Structure 1
């Protein structure tokens, strides 16, 4: 402060710096952990060693073909191509050299003819001298399996015509939904579900960085419930951290958070598959299940695993029960009533077990 009580320039600068740091920390807290810990370069990508090795060679030679990434959700497909483009173009040039579109929102032929074609035929801008990059741009089409057949057909001609200055990367879950003429123009990379050990290691690392106290078995429970989807495991961890802000995260809390049905409930359902069980007894069990709000899809998934591991059931019984569950799942997807479908499944399964007993 000077004689008149006004802040000195140095104090003003210090206050501005402190304010900027506080706002930066506040913004960082609001970022989803999935985005916050997304790989920044190709070497940070967890697992997918074969894919990373090939892409690293392409990065060295600056010779990149059209790419097709496919595999289950949460395995790092989008993260890998974004990390590759950052390594290839640098933090500034990537803004003008890369066009990322989510094909589930923008999937019509008009988008391909307007946005994609306009970007593909544009002249390549001068690259940053610090990041000597190749003379082509990259178009990333996320969820490309949602594109219409007409849009995919229009895209193949654009890929041919502008391949000298533009490369395409198609990202999808189901490669069978990409038309063959388009798939044949790309180098395919299959992304596998992450091995349990690597997924546990990555989630544990994030939990440590975010100061989330985890009991033994809690991280493993998160990974198991995510079923190979690292994105889902990270989101569940962030949600769980809000619940246990000043305590320890346990496997029980994880199960409750992600909607896993307690094992005693599944055992009770399995126990009702006996010849002596009446329809009224089955109805009581199913009513209790529905009133507790357990989703039918989760009931089916866990009951299926329990039935397939049941040593008291023969192979033929398991096959018949699996068919019943498949029929129930189809009916649920079509919008059938959960209560009636689970009730029907339980009655039919009881008959299957009783017949072969």
Structure 2
């Protein structure tokens, strides 16, 4: 789900829905962010002639929500008969293309003039090469009656013959303000008790992902009935950015031993090296320091993150990063 603002349904059936589904918009115009991409989809919704689509971008930015909303607008009451949605990460083999997808493409469905059946494939970049080749052939054969919408994190993993048959719509992470706007609507509708710092923490943990933001908001409220910083970071189980910020501050002030001590405290709390370095990167990115120093800090953090991603996730690796940041700080001071 991404960027939802639709009013909650009053029906009992919707009462216990996760907020990420309860507030999923049913119109393209209700979706938050990525206005260039959404304006293209709105034109398709208005004119009706949908091309094959590839929607590419990070999780929680509105890809699946957009295509579902577009399908609803195009097919209206024929949605159930005219749309099939598959998650390619579960159904990614060639047999699924030959059976489920081909059978649906062959099915006769009465639709309004100028409309087509729609096959939605989520996480399409996880499909095997053979399945993608079979899908390409199916797209060719049934082009008169069926359109395909492929949602993926990166379009580069989709084979060229499919890419050339599709219009590619790119999505990017949502801004803090876009996420905050939607959080405020949900908070008001659900009568959530909160402080502004709590919503800031939700936005920090979401990192541009609306789905993550709404899930974190609901989890925090369900667990504590109150959304503040402490509760958010407990629920999300991420290192508190203030602890990481104090670590960076100690490096900048030349207190290397204290910085290492704070790092060890975080590590001993059970946070993984990936958790710590991901939060460290985001803290450095927003830290008030000279730009040349920030660039070097980000550079060293990036290299350390790469090594940790390769499997060298240890306290020693993180301590080595603090040492390198200290050297960068000393070198820049000497210069």
Using structure 1 for the length normalisation, give the TM-score.
0.80
Structure 2 residue 39 is matched with structure 1 residue 53 = yes
Tell me what 2:324 maps to: 348
Give the direction of change, closer, same or farther, for the CA distance of 1:169–1:343 in structure 2 (3 Å limit): same
Q: Tell me the alpha carbon deviations over residues 185-224 of structure 1, each in whole angstroms, 9 at most, x when there is no partner.
A: 1112112322332321111111111111222343233223
Q: 1:266 aligns with which of 245, 252, 255?
A: 245
Tell me what 2:281 maps to: 304
Q: Tell me the alpha carbon deviations over residues 8-33 of structure 1, each in whole angstroms, 9 at most, x when there is no partner.
A: xxxxxxxxxxxxxxxx63x5343111
The answer (yes or no) to whether the contact 1:274–1:350 under 8 Å persists in 2 is no
Tell me what 2:7 maps to: none
Shift of 1:237: 0.7
Shift of 1:135: 4.7
Shift of 1:257: 3.0
Task: Please give the alpha-carbon distance, in whole angstroms, between the structure 2 residues aligned to 1:197 and 1:337.
Answer: 34
Task: Please give the alpha-carbon distance, in whole angstroms, between the structure 2 residues aligned to 1:299 and 1:325.
Answer: 11
Shift of 1:309: 5.8
Task: Please give the alpha-carbon distance, in whole angstroms, between the structure 2 residues aligned to 1:36 and 1:323.
Answer: 41
Rg comparison, structure with higher value:
1
Task: Please give the alpha-carbon distance, in whole angstroms, between the structure 2 residues aligned to 1:156 and 1:260.
Answer: 45
Tell me what 1:111 maps to: 96
Task: Please give the alpha-carbon distance, in whole angstroms, between the structure 2 residues aligned to 1:329 and 1:189.
Answer: 30
Shift of 1:154: 2.2
Tell me what 1:190 maps to: 170
Greater Cα offset, 182-191 or 339-348: 339-348
Give the direction of change, closer, same or farther, for the CA distance of 1:277–1:168 in structure 2 (3 Å limit): closer
Tell me what 1:126 maps to: 110
Give the direction of change, closer, same or farther, for the CA distance of 1:164–1:222 in structure 2 (3 Å limit): same
Q: Note the residue ranges of structure 1 that are not aligned, 5 or more in a row.
A: 1-23
Provide the secondary structure at the position in 1 that maps to 2:131. helix
Provide the secondary structure at the position in 2 that maps to 1:233. helix
Shift of 1:292: 2.3
Q: 1:153 aligns with which of 129, 133, 145?
A: 133
Give the direction of change, closer, same or farther, for the CA distance of 1:180–1:142 in structure 2 (3 Å limit): same
Tell me what 2:232 maps to: 254
Greater Cα offset, 160-169 or 302-311: 302-311
Using structure 2 for the length normalisation, give the TM-score.
0.85
Q: 1:202 aligns with which of 175, 182, 207?
A: 182
Q: CA RMSD for the aligned pairs?
A: 2.7
Shift of 1:184: 1.4
- Write out aligned runs for 1:188-337 (5 A): 188-245=168-225, 248-258=226-236, 259-272=238-251, 277=256, 284-307=261-284, 315=292, 318=294, 320-337=296-313
The answer (yes or no) to whether the contact 1:200–1:219 under 8 Å persists in 2 is yes
Shift of 1:98: 0.9
The answer (yes or no) to whether the contact 1:218–1:251 under 8 Å persists in 2 is yes
Q: Note the residue ranges of structure 2 that are not aligned, 5 or more in a row.
A: 1-10
The answer (yes or no) to whether the contact 1:88–1:133 under 8 Å persists in 2 is no
Shift of 1:282: 6.2
Provide the secondary structure at the position in 1 that maps to 2:173. coil
Q: Tell me the alpha carbon deviations over residues 112-155 of structure 1, each in whole angstroms, 9 at most, x when there is no partner.
A: 222212222222x224xxxx464521111111111122222222
Task: Please give the alpha-carbon distance, in whole angstroms, between the structure 1 residues aligned to 2:247 and 2:302.
Answer: 21
Task: Please give the alpha-carbon distance, in whole angstroms, between the structure 2 residues aligned to 1:275 and 1:53.
Answer: 51
Give the direction of change, closer, same or farther, for the CA distance of 1:81–1:265 in structure 2 (3 Å limit): closer
Provide the secondary structure at the position in 1 that maps to 2:169. strand
Task: Please give the alpha-carbon distance, in whole angstroms, between the structure 2 residues aligned to 1:218 and 1:284.
Answer: 27
Give the direction of change, closer, same or farther, for the CA distance of 1:63–1:337 in structure 2 (3 Å limit): closer
Give the direction of change, closer, same or farther, for the CA distance of 1:40–1:314 in structure 2 (3 Å limit): closer
Provide the secondary structure at the position in 1 that maps to 2:121. strand
Provide the secondary structure at the position in 2 that maps to 1:141. strand
